[in-house]
């Protein structure tokens, strides 16, 4: 007569399959003076050049004017002036504009030139250095060392263009 061991009948050893969640962000990178700056690609709705920017009187100095993008009137902001990067006048006729979606609506950001797009892991983001860059750390998500020489500054456009700040 054959006997079954009850322990042999139990199903054991089923391992829970855990997928490692890799949090990756895609970042649009651009230059402001010599600084390499990045914005999450999900915040960018359009990149455009050759747009006419119409100055608007009695606006803060960092607002270059407004542009008409497919019937939408969008304010265009100079981050250089907002962050006191430069006292030089910007050439708005040849500006590259990143249109970002914010709590205040669409806003155009004037940049020197687009460098490209990079993927970064959330674990690569380091806290911003205090006042080393000249941008208020409140507006910086963090910094990423792309290689030994390139430091990427990640801006938080949602904090920069927050309804409570205006």
Best CA proximity match to 160, nearest among 65, 91, 95, 83: 83
Q: What is the DSSP letter of 60?
A: -
Residue 1 pLDDT:
46
pLDDT band at 148 (very low <50, low <70, confident <90, very high): confident
pTM of the model: 0.78
Q: What is the DSSP letter of 126?
A: B
Task: Evaluate whether 143 touches 153 at the Cβ level (below 8 Å).
Answer: yes
Q: How far apart are the C-alpha atoms of 101 and 104, rounded to whole Å?
A: 8
Q: Which CATH class is domain 24-161?
A: mainly beta
For residues 139-158, give the mean pLDDT: 89
List pLDDT tens digits, range 69-118. Answer: 989 999 999 998 888 876 566 666 778 999 999 999 999 999 988 999 99
Region of residue 158 (phi > 0: left; psi between -120 and 50: alpha; otherwise: beta): alpha
The CA-atom distances, in angstroms, between 10 and each of 7, 43, 154 are 5, 52, 53
Residue 34 pLDDT:
84
């Amino acid at each position: 007569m054959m006997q079954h061991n009850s322990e042999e009948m139990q199903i054991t050893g089923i391992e829970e399959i855990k997928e490692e969640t890799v949090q990756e962000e895609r970042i649009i990178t651009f230059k402001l003076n010599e600084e390499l700056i990045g914005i999450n690609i999900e915040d960018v709705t359009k990149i455009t050049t050759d747009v006419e920017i119409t100055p608007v009187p009695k606006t803060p100095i960092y607002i270059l004017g407004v542009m008409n993008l497919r019937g939408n009137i969008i304010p265009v902001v100079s981050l250089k002036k907002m962050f006191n990067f430069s006292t030089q006048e910007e050439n708005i006729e040849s500006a590259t504009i990143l249109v970002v979606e914010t709590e205040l609506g669409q806003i155009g950001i004037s940049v020197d030139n687009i460098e490209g797009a990079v993927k970064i892991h959330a674990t690569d983001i380091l806290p911003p250095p205090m006042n080393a860059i000249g941008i208020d750390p409140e507006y910086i998500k963090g910094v990423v060392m792309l290689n030994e020489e390139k430091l990427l500054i990640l801006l938080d456009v949602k904090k920069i263009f927050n309804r409570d700040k205006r």
